Amino acid sequence: MFLNIVIADISFRVSSENMPLLHLPNRKTYGPFITDDIPSGEGAESIEVRLEIKDFPSVGQFKKIFETPDAWSMFRDRDQYFWMDIPASSAVEPDCVVCFDRRAEKVTVYCGESFITEVSGKKMLINPISYPLDQILLMYTLAEVGGACMHATAVDFNGKGYLFPGRSGAGKSTISEIFLSGNHAVLSDDRMVVRKIGDAFRCFGTPWAGDAGIAENRNLPLHGIFFIFHGNENMIEKITPAEAFEKLMPVTSIPWYDEKVTPDILSFCEDLVMNVPAYDLHFKPDREVVDLLEKFASA
């Protein structure tokens, strides 16, 4: 049984020889990303994911490089990584253990009993490739091929992509809804992927939507970056590449715990701000900001 999930022209080819796969219906934003159309050509990449139902591999002898309380832990043995969905210190058996190489080209997911369900009297295996595991695997692949995941929304201005990064509460969902009301397509309202393909930067929608629930599986050439701030007036200010780099750090998914991968993402971010103009955008929550950006884009 195969399931193909495509995010940023990178295919997660999920296979299970044990039982049919089930993608949970409550993961609605993944719908546009589950497709039989496999990307080809420049920029197309794949992550082969094999699902197993067997004893979990032991990770106790490996170096723990990261742990989030009551969430997940990461271990490393040279260029081999092991991801667990609960802290290793817990006495409770994890739901799954994931083994992958540095580029995340080959991934094995060892699934526990919690991933097995029954539908119409038939046993099925719940697809484990969803947030946060898919974003973690994608982060490692992007580090190798030139790209990064970012807390941002992106808007389509006549085929030009404009990226609006911001921390939680900065107004990504608000500005997304404003642009939608102004008849501009929005690719995502919370997380985007930016990649360099050839000599050009492109922004990609992702299934990891925010409050507005926007998640489109398409991409645009990136023409500008606007760091968003709530304000009393609508105003655009050009900033330097150094300022843009500093502001990009808190909104980019960077595995600071992994000294082998972090430099690749930092290098990508430096390349991005040196080649794509960046601005501060102070905005009021009304239609005037759309008019301001339309004039800017047309100029």
Domain boundary among 85, 113, 141: 141
Q: 265-277: per-residue pLDDT in tens?
A: 999 999 999 999 9
Domain residues for 40? Answer: 2-141
Looking at the structure, tell me whether residues 53 and 127 fall in a common domain. yes
Looking at the structure, tell me whether residues 95 and 189 fall in a common domain. no
Q: For residue 87, name the pLDDT band (cuts at 50, 70, 90).
A: low
Q: Say if pTM beats, i.e. exceeds, 0.85.
A: yes
Cβ neighbours, 10 Å, residue 286? 11
Looking at the structure, tell me whether residues 192 and 226 fall in a common domain. yes
Cβ neighbours, 10 Å, residue 63? 10
Looking at the structure, tell me whether residues 166 and 245 fall in a common domain. yes
Looking at the structure, tell me whether residues 216 and 270 fall in a common domain. yes
Q: For residue 91, name the pLDDT band (cuts at 50, 70, 90).
A: low
Per-residue buried b or exposed e for 110-124, using 16+ beta carbons within 10 Å of the residue's own CB: bbeeebeeeeeeeeb
Q: Which residue has the higher pLDDT, 135 or 93?
A: 135
Over range 107-129, report the average pLDDT.
92
- The total number of structural domains that make up the chain: 2
What is the predicted pLDDT for the residue at 182? 83
Over range 195-201, report the average pLDDT.
97
Domain boundary among 97, 122, 141: 141
